[in-house]
Amino acid sequence: MSKILVSKRVYPEAVEFLRKDFEVDYEGTDAGLTTEALIERAKGCDAIVSQLTDKLNAEILSQLEGIKVIANVAVGFDNIDVPAATERGILVTNTPGVLTETTADFAFTLLMATARRIPEGHAFVHSGEWKTWLIDLLAGQDIHGATLGLFGLGRIGAAVARRAKGFGMRILYNDAQPAPAALEHELDARFVSKDELLRDSDFVSLHVPLTPETRHFIGAAELARMKPTAILINTARGPVVDEVALADALEKRLIWAAGLDVFEREPQVEAKLLSLQNVVLAPHIASASVATRRRMSMMAAENAAAALKGERPANLLNPDAWTA
């Protein structure tokens, strides 16, 4: 019987599903496994159901003898060296699609909370400092009719754009390639250069994968090009933004505010960000609805099971490893 290592706590139905056909070594803790423990526990296993906290680089992959598939419980997979896995014939899968709408909901939640200063208002009421109505008390930025700039018009970026249309927002986007004309027409979205998007947008929302090309995609130079009233939203990956440069820009009020769900060195956060009022911080929970996280757990389990049964997984990231 094939054996699967589940490296960290997932929704229980995913483990129950796997136990029907496989031996399962389940690390049902929130801490998960250290790298050393993961390598040791993977011995004798045929698959790993991994999470973003499992950093599976080429060196670690070389020590995972016998592993046929790594099923990541996430749409992002920058925690896994996919080319190195491909060289070793290890299939790698992710969980796309299922979290699109939930993540888009949260990106727009961050946009609204940041623009209208909801966390500041919440804290102000709880503090007991609220004494009277004032003409400019916690005045923020309008969302309706504003310009939204999207870096990345894939599944999630397009879903955010659909929400923005309901607010009458003008939509600009930039991506590696222009989107299909039909999608541009549906969203009334216009492809522009990176500079034009930064210059003209009231809100800039990031929806790009983390690659060598997108690391620090938003840094000091980009922040300087944005409007002083602009708001940056990041629900993509933390290293897409230079966190030190962002903290500096927020402190100097070079931009109005930021809403962040991801950070460069999670769970560490740039200390200066923690001291600023014009940034809304969330602990990487954009896809964290009960239904979505449950489905992500099941999808990863289904991917692992399919591979071990000799079936091509539905969400295979490296088809070259399948055909090799």
Q: Which residues are catalytic?
A: 237, 266, 284
Residue 141 · residue 118 · CB < 8 Å: no
**How many other C-beta atoms lie within 10 A of the C-beta of residue 316?**
18
Q: What span, in angstroms and rounded, lies between the C-alpha atoms of 301 and 322?
A: 18
Q: What span, in angstroms and rounded, lies between the C-alpha atoms of 14 and 290?
A: 14
CA 276 and chain centroid, separation = 23
Which residue from 99, 106, 103, 155 is spatially nearest to 292, judged by alpha carbons?
99
Q: What span, in angstroms and rounded, lies between the C-alpha atoms of 111 and 123?
A: 18
Which residue from 142, 160, 119 is spatially nearest to 279, judged by alpha carbons?
119
Supply the DSSP symbol for 150. E
- Reported for 317-324, long-range contacts at CB under 8 A and 24+ positions apart, including other chains, are 317/77, 317/82, 317/92, 317/93, 317/94, 318/82, 318/83, 318/85, 318/86, 318/91, 318/92, 320/86, 321/85, 321/86, 321/89, 321/90, 321/91, 321/92, 322/91, 324/86, 324/89
Which residue from 253, 147, 267 is spatially nearest to 197, judged by alpha carbons?
147
Which residue from 172, 165, 167, 117 is spatially nearest to 148, judged by alpha carbons?
172
